[in-house]
Amino acid sequence: MPPSPLDLIADELKCVSLPLYTPSEPSPRYSCEPSVDERTLQQTPRISRSAPTGEYIKKSGKVIVTLFEQEHGVEIPTYGRRDEITGTVYLQAPERVTQVVLKIEGRLNTIISDGGSRSITVLSRSHTLWRKESSQGISNVIPFSYLLPSHFTHAGSERPLPPTYYVGSSGIPALHVRSDYTIAISVTRSRHHNLDFLTKVDHIKIPFLYHPRTRANRPIVPSPSFFSTVKTSPEEWYQVFTAMKTRVSSNIEPIYCHLFIPGARVFGLKDKIPIHIQMSGPLDSLQKLLMPQARNAPPPPAWSRETREKCPAHSKPKIKVSILRQTHVESRGRKGWKNTTIGDGEIWEVPPAICEAQGAVHLDWEGELIAHDTIAVGGFAAGNVVVKDFIVLTVDPPTVGNHPSTFLALQMSVPVRIVTDSYVEVTDYEPPAA
C-alpha cells in the first residue's frame, strides 16, 4: 500500500531542524499613569498607593543589577507583602558567563544576655536565571521576577514574615533583635574559554527593606467634645481606670484616674490618637493632690473663686502620655525585653480649671498622640520575637520642697495595635474628565 499524504508530511517534518532560539528582550514596564500621548478611559477608585516608577541600580565589576518599581533616589529598595521583585541583570562581556543565580534571603537574629544568640531563617529562595548547559545563547540583559511569600514556617506553625526591624541595648541585660533581607546575584565566569572548570564568581548583594502594610479596621470618629460622644456613642471609647495609691500613713480617700482612648484600639502610624483623662474623687483628696502642704502647715483655704490664683502651675500634677513599644525575646528558656518610646502626646486642661469651685468632683484633660516619623512598621510576632505596643499614662503628683506628695506616682498601660496605614473608606466615585 502506498504511503498516505499524512505519512509523507510526517517524514518531511522529521528532517526539518527548528531554528535556534534567540532570547527576546524583556517587555516594556507597565505604568499605572498614562503617558503624554495616552489618556484614562475608565478608572476604579483605589485606596492603595500607586506603584513607584523609579529604579534602583547597583553595579559591581562587569555586572549591573536594576530593580524596578522603586522610589526615585532611594538608597535601599523597599518591598511590601507579596510584592514582586522584578529587575534585570546586565552583563558586560557575557561570552564567558556559565551561570547566573538569584538568591533571596531573610533572617531573624536575636541576642540576649542569659540566652545567647539565635538565628532563624525566615526566607531562603534560590533561582538559576541562566545556565550555559541548558541554553543555546545568552543575552546581555537577563530579566528576573520573584513573588515574595507572605508567611514562613517555624516550629511547625505558619507566621507572617517579620518586617525589617532592629532594636538593641548594650546595657545589662543586653538585648539585640535584627530582622533583615537581601537580594544576592551570583555570576559565574570561566577564566578561559576552553576551561569551564576554572571559574570566577562575582557577587552582588543588595539589602532591602521589607515593610508589609496593614490597615486599621475602624475609623477614629471625629468629635469636638468628648463629653458629647461618650454619652451618645459610648462604644466609640475604651476606658480603663485605677486608683491613685497613697502613702501608708495617710487616711485620704482615693482618687480614681480614668483614661479614655478610641474603642478600636488599632491605629495607623500617621493617626492623631485622641485621648481623654479624668481624675475623680472627694474634694478633700483632689485638693491635697493639687495643693500639697508641708508637714505641720496650716490647712489650705477652702476652694473658691478668690483662691483660684493660689493654685500655681508648678503645683499641678505632671501628666504624660506616650506610645511604648515592647520587644520581647525568648531564647533557650530565657526571656528578655526592651521598652522603647515610639510616640509622644500633647495634653491640655479642659474647663473648668483644676482650681474651679462649685463643688467640682472631677478634673479633665484632653490630648493627642502620634507615632514618631522614624517608625515605619507596626507590631508583629515571628519566631522567638514578639513586638507589642501600648499607650502609657504617667501621673507624677507635685511636691512641696523636700516633702513628697501624699499620693504615689501612677502609671497605666493600655495594649493597642499600631499598623502602617490609617482607616480609609472610599465613598464617592469621580469619573475621569472627558
**81 in a structural domain:** yes
Which domain range does residue 77 map to? 50-210
Same domain, 206 and 251: no
Instruction: Quick: pLDDT tens for 252-287.
Output: 888 999 999 999 999 999 999 999 999 998 888 888
Same domain, 108 and 140: yes
Instruction: Quick: pLDDT tens for 371-396.
Output: 999 999 999 999 999 999 999 999 99
Same domain, 235 and 179: no
Confidence grade of residue 322 (pLDDT, cut at 50, 70, 90): very high
* C-alpha cell of residue 84: 514582586
Distance CA 81, CA 148 (A): 7
Same domain, 193 and 332: no
**What distance lies between CA 16 and its chain's CA centroid?**
60
Q: Output the pLDDT for position 293.
A: 62
**45 in a structural domain:** no
Same domain, 134 and 55: yes
Mean pLDDT of the chain: 84
- Give the mean pLDDT of 34-61: 76
Same domain, 71 and 178: yes
Look up the pTM and report it. 0.80
* C-alpha cell of residue 413: 498601660
- Give the mean pLDDT of 319-347: 94
Same domain, 66 and 179: yes
**43 in a structural domain:** no
Asked whether residue 295 carries a pLDDT value surpassing 60, the answer given is no
* C-alpha cell of residue 412: 497605666
Q: Output the pLDDT for position 411.
A: 95
- Supply the CATH number for residue 258's domain: 2.60.40.640
Same domain, 160 and 284: no
Asked whether residue 24 carries a pLDDT value surpassing 90, the answer given is no
Domain end residue (candidates: 153, 181, 210): 210
**145 in a structural domain:** yes
Same domain, 254 and 201: no
Distance CA 184, CA 63 (A): 12
Vertex 19, ends 13 and 23: CA angle to 5°?
140
The total number of structural domains in the chain stands at 2
Instruction: Quick: pLDDT tens for 60-114.
Output: 989 999 999 999 999 999 999 999 999 999 999 888 899 999 999 999 999 998 8
Q: Give percent above pLDDT 90 in the chain.
A: 52
SS3 category, 309: helix
Domain end residue (candidates: 210, 236, 254): 210
- Give the mean pLDDT of 348-365: 70
Establish how many alpha carbons lie within 13 A of residue 76's alpha carbon, considering only the half-sphere containing its beta carbon. Answer: 11
Domain end residue (candidates: 155, 175, 210): 210
Distance CA 325, CA 123 (A): 25
Beta-strand pair 141-147/237-244: unpaired
- Supply the CATH number for residue 144's domain: 2.60.40.840
Same domain, 163 and 271: no
Vertex 321, ends 317 and 323: CA angle to 5°?
160
Same domain, 152 and 279: no
* C-alpha cell of residue 82: 507579596
**237 in a structural domain:** yes
Same domain, 232 and 191: no
Asked whether residue 353 carries a pLDDT value surpassing 60, the answer given is no
Burial annotation 303-325 (CB, 10 A radius, 16+ → b, else e): beeeeeeebeeebbbebebebbb
